């Protein structure tokens, strides 16, 4: 009988320096005494940002960007390797290997500077270099500790479509490649250390899974390997009832369901890449969020059927990172294709729509996009609706960036009357004005839009109104510093 497999992913801050990498390797090594362990690593924190910003500078013709990048990466990783690897021979080998990877990233940047452009395909190659370096370092540390750590590039394991910058996995081919490459090592007692974030198309062209994508890598691999569970080691204690930077009384939830975690993934603390749970939902593989800085804590378990809380609402979440777009005017009343045209326009620029609301008077359709998508969505809409505005069928397309979404989330809210009433009377009592409201028919989430300045007050009041600080047995979430969930 082969041992159950545990996939564990370490995020950027959990491999942020030599000490953190040693800590991560120790956690993996300890776990490997009970189970077969597969490690997935992000780039060291800050590295992906450095790579992406160097690529952007290079694309404007800045030739010095490549040199500066090579230097920055060399300094950071050399220092780390020197602190970690004591054997001279091993160290030299590792340094040579990472020099090749750094050279390659810098060469791509030089190419961009020459061409004066940066294709999404080139950006994926450059952006994914940090994971390749980090996996090699972590594997070497495991070997130094006496384990058979072997680095793998996920470009050889995870097969995706061709959408650069946000590729989606193809389960069949991924399963085949992953099992063929990893199972022999796993069964022989070794520990694969796999790059997060990166993958490749069926033709072998490198892709990435989107920023923060290493979480997604971990569950993709977990599903492919029929893992017993997946652990996301990060720098927060798990999923919390609210962002503790806003609500000091927030506590860590012991358990949340896939659906609840999905609703929460987008907001606030950004604990998970939004796609993370997709690969494991069918097989029901549990995903744990745990804090690598406090590994003795249990963290949050995400499963199919998490225990509900008595009040229905499990967490309150919010974000200011959005903009509201309203299309209004008497001419849109009863026009059957107006909504189709609005959303075709926003889809044409790949805007991520987070919330939609239209009242039954129909003279105003309002939707919310991520702040980063606002400018191009507005332009696409103005182009698409140009004629309607000219004929005064449409009064305006308005963008308001001064808003925040607040959401109450919980699976047990479904079919429980009175929750919406409580949510909105709480806002009334606090004097927080509500601009728009949406509840999906899943009823897992009541979302509403407020002015940015009212967001914190709204979250605090809801957290209090639903008694969220006391319902869970989980320990109190502590300082603000620990919730800053940085991607690498």
What is the binding site for ligand ASP (CB under 6 A)?
A: 11-12, 42-43, 48, 130, 196-197, 211-214, 487-488
Query: Shortest gap between Cβ of 478 and ligand ASP (angstroms)?
Result: 23
CB-wise, 262 or 308, nearer to ligand ASP?
262
Helix (H, G, I), strand (E, B) or coil at 313: coil
Q: Where are the alpha helices (DSSP H) in 374-415?
A: 374-384, 386-390
What is the chain's Cα-based Rg?
24
Does 14 bind Mg ion (CB under 5 A)? Our answer is no
- Smallest distance from the beta carbon of 337 to Mg ion, in angstroms? 40
Nearer to ligand ASP, 197 or 466 (CB): 197
Stretch that binds Mg ion, among 8-16, 139-147, 295-303, 335-343 (CB under 5 A): 8-16
Minimum distance between the CB of residue 488 and ligand ASP, rounded to whole angstroms? 4
Task: Decide if residue 196 touches Mg ion (CB under 5 A).
Answer: no
- Of 58-66, 173-181, 211-219, 240-248: span binding Mg ion (CB under 5 A): 211-219
Number of residues this chain uses to bind Mg ion (CB under 5 A): 3
Q: Which does 197 bind (CB under 5 to 8 A by kind): ligand ASP, Mg ion, none?
A: ligand ASP
CB of 215: closest distance to Mg ion in angstroms? 6
Who's near 86: CB < 8 A, 6+ residues apart?
A: 144
Quick one: residue 61, left, alpha or beta (phi over 0 = left, psi -120 to 50 = alpha)? left
Please report how many Cα atoms fall inside a 13 Å half-sphere around the Cα of residue 98, on the Cβ side: 31
CA triplet 10, 46, 373: central angle to 5 degrees?
100
Picked from Mg ion, ligand ASP, none, the partner binding residue 190 (CB below 5 to 8 A depending on kind) is: none
CB of 14 to Mg ion, least distance (A): 10
- H-helix or E-strand containing 5? strand 5-10
Of the pair 247, 265, the CB lying nearest Mg ion is at 265
Binding status of residue 487 toward Mg ion by CB under 5 A: yes
At its nearest, how many Å lie between ligand ASP and the CB of residue 42? 3
Q: Where are the alpha helices (DSSP H) in 165-310?
A: 171-187, 214-224, 258-265, 278-281
Q: What does 488 bind: ligand ASP, Mg ion, none (CB cut-off 5 to 8 Å by kind)?
A: ligand ASP
Residue among 331, 413, 295, 225 nearest 26 (CA): 295
Question: What is the nearest approach in angstroms of ligand ASP to the Cβ of residue 129?
Answer: 10
Determine contact, residues 231/9, Cβ cutoff 8 Å: yes
Distance CA 74, CA 472 (A): 46
| Nearest distance from C-beta of residue 274 to Mg ion, angstroms | 11
C-beta closer to ligand ASP: residue 152 or 444 = 152
With CB under 5 to 8 Å by kind, the binding choice for 43 among Mg ion, ligand ASP, none is ligand ASP
Near Mg ion by CB under 5 A: residue from 192, 196, 206, 212: 212
For Mg ion, give the closer residue by CB, 196 or 308: 196
C-alpha–C-alpha distance, residues 453 and 463, integer Å: 17
At 283 the three-state DSSP class reads coil
Burial class (CB in 10 A: 0-12, 13-18, 19+), 441: exposed
Return d(Cα 229, Cα 243) in angstroms, integer: 26
Residues in contact with Mg ion by the rule CB under 5 A: 11, 212, 487
């Amino acid at each position: 009988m082969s041992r159950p497999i545990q996939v564990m992913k370490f995020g950027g801050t959990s491999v942020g320096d030599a000490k953190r990498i040693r800590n991560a390797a120790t956690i993996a090594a300890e776990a490997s005494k009970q189970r077969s362990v597969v490690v997935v690593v992000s780039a060291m924190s800050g590295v992906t940002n450095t790579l992406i910003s160097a690529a952007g500078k290079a694309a404007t013709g800045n030739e010095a960007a490549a040199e500066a990048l090579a230097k920055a990466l060399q300094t950071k990783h050399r220092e780390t390797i020197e602190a970690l690897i004591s054997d001279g021979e091993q160290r030299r080998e590792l340094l040579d290997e990472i020099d090749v990877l750094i050279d390659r990233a810098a060469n791509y940047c030089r190419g961009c500077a020459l061409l004066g452009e940066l294709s999404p395909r080139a950006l994926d190659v450059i952006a994914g270099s940090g994971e390749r370096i980090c996996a090699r370092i972590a594997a070497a540390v495991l070997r130094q500790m006496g384990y058979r750590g072997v680095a793998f590039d996920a470009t050889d394991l995870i097969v995706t479509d061709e959408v650069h910058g946000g590729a989606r996995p193809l389960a069949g081919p991924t399963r085949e490649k992953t099992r063929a490459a990893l199972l022999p090592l796993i069964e022989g007692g070794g520990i694969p250390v796999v790059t997060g974030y990166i993958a490749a198309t069926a033709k072998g062209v490198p892709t990435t899974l989107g920023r923060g994508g290493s979480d997604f890598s971990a569950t993709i691999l977990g599903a492919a390997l029929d893992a017993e569970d997946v652990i996301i080691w990060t720098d927060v204690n798990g999923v919390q009832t609210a962002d503790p930077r806003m609500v000091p009384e927030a506590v860590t939830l012991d358990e949340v369901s896939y659906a609840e975690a999905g609703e929460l993934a987008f907001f606030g603390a950004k604990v998970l890449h939004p796609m993370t749970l997709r690969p494991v939902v069918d097989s029901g593989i549990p995903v744990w969020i745990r804090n690598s800085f406090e590994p003795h804590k249990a963290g949050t378990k995400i499963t199919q059927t998490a225990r509900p809380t008595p009040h229905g609402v499990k967490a309150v979440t919010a974000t200011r990172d959005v903009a509201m777009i309203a299309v209004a005017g008497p001419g849109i009343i009863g026009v059957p294709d107006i909504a189709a045209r609005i959303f075709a326009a926003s889809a044409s620029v790949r805007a991520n729509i987070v919330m939609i609301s239209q009242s039954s008077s129909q003279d105003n359709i309002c939707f919310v996009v991520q702040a980063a998508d606002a400018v191009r969505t507005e332009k696409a809409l103005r182009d698409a609706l140009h004629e309607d505005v000219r004929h005064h069928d449409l009064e305006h397309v308005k963008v308001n960036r001064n808003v925040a979404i607040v959401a109450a989330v919980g699976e047990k809210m479904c079919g429980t009357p009175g929750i919406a009433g409580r949510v909105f009377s709480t806002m009334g009592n606090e004097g927080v004005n509500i601009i728009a409201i949406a509840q999906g028919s899943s009823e897992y989430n009541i979302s509403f839009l407020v002015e940015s300045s009212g967001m914190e007050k709204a979250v605090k009041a809801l957290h209090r109104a639903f008694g969220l600080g006391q319902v869970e047995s989980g320990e109190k979430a502590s300082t603000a510093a620990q919730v800053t969930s940085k991607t690498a």
